[in-house]
Amino acid sequence: MNEKINCTEAICAAHNFAVIGHPIAHTMSPFIHTKLFALGNGYPAADYGVIDLPPEELTASMPRLREFSGFNITIPHKQAIIPHLDNLDAKAAFFHSVNTVKNENGRLTGYTTDGAGFTRALESAGVPLTGRIAILGAGGASRVMAFEALDAAQEPDITIAAREHSLPAAQALCNELEQVLQNQGRKGRLSVARLDALSGGFDLLVNGTPVGMYPHADASPVSAGVLAHCAAVFDAVYNPDQTMLLRLAKENGAKTVGGMRMLVEQAAAAHEIWYGATFRESDIDALCREAVEEMERIFA
């Protein structure tokens, strides 16, 4: 069942899985997860619901949420859910962010699969997470992707680029990355740049900002001049499938990866956590295409 559910209704408990967030209109989660349940191995038929849950109702809703086998979490609950959980996976604790919860005998454990979604999306396109990397933005998505880039290279070379008002957050993120390198006894080049002063010359440019997202699809976080000097470009924005950033990058000869692959891959990683699912690469490829078609139908 994919209908929007008011969490105060008893029907909430009848769904095995769900996604919670607010606002959560037009979410792709039911479409993607329902398909994944059909593709995953060794799990009986499961329902997947949508719960539009205002922040002030989270605490009161926890007894009902504990009746689910598992659930996904999106804005604004990724941090707020943590005090209500019984256990926290190491990576979720490190990022202080949860997007997947598993219920084991009434005990809720929080995980984050965003990083896995990002790295798998790059792997599927044959784009290495190495070399000189630019991360656009300093918010939650950018932070996850920056740390994945840090883990992927022995001596990472990462530039965090942000708009003027976000430079303090970018510097704070850079300082966090530097501290991890120091704690691990590793070396690397970490820097902060103003977004409009970014020059290019990157092996991979990663967009973690919402610039270019529907309905403002006629915008790009960087110019074609910057993209002319990037070997590969990843955009976490998935609506539209081909953002202006990706179009400009293609026109300048860069290899491109869109956000829908990350969205599907992080969802697949949640199924691995919930019931040990495995998926064929060809099935994930097909689901990404189907999800784009469904998204375009919804927003037509």
Has 141 been labeled as part of a binding site? yes
Question: Is 74 within any annotated ligand binding site?
Answer: yes
Residue 259: which H helix or E strand, with range?
A: helix 259-275
- Given its phi and psi angles, is residue 124 left (phi above 0), alpha (psi -120 to 50 degrees) or beta? alpha
Q: 139: annotated binding-site residue?
A: yes
Whole-angstrom Cα distance, residue 169 to residue 178? Answer: 14
How far is it, in rounded angstroms, from Cα 78 to Cα 70? 15
212: left (phi over 0), alpha (psi -120 to 50) or beta: left
Query: Is 266 annotated as belonging to a binding site?
Result: yes
Residue 29 counted as an annotated binding residue: yes
d(CA 226, CA 201): 8
Active-site residue identified among 4, 78, 91, 102:
78
Residue 259 marked as a ligand binder: yes
DSSP state of 215: T
Using alpha carbons only, give the angle 84, 90, 92 rounded to the nearest 5 degrees: 55
Q: Is 140 annotated as a binding residue?
A: yes
Spatial CB neighbours of 111, under 8 Å, sequence gap ≥ 6: 89, 91, 92, 98, 99, 100, 101, 102, 270, 273
Q: Establish whether 201 is an annotated binding residue.
A: no
Q: What is the DSSP letter of 36?
A: H
* 106 assigned binding-site residue: no
DSSP state of 300: -
The residue among 10, 77, 20, 80 whose CA lies nearest residue 50 is 20
Check the annotation: does 93 bind a ligand.
no
78 is catalytic: yes
Helix (H, G, I), strand (E, B) or coil at 49: strand
Detail the residues annotated as belonging to a binding site: 27-29, 74, 99, 114, 137-141, 236, 238, 259, 266
Detail the residues annotated as belonging to a binding site for NADP(+): 137-141, 236, 259
What are the residue numbers of the active site? 78
Detail the residues annotated as belonging to a binding site for shikimate: 27-29, 74, 99, 114, 238, 266
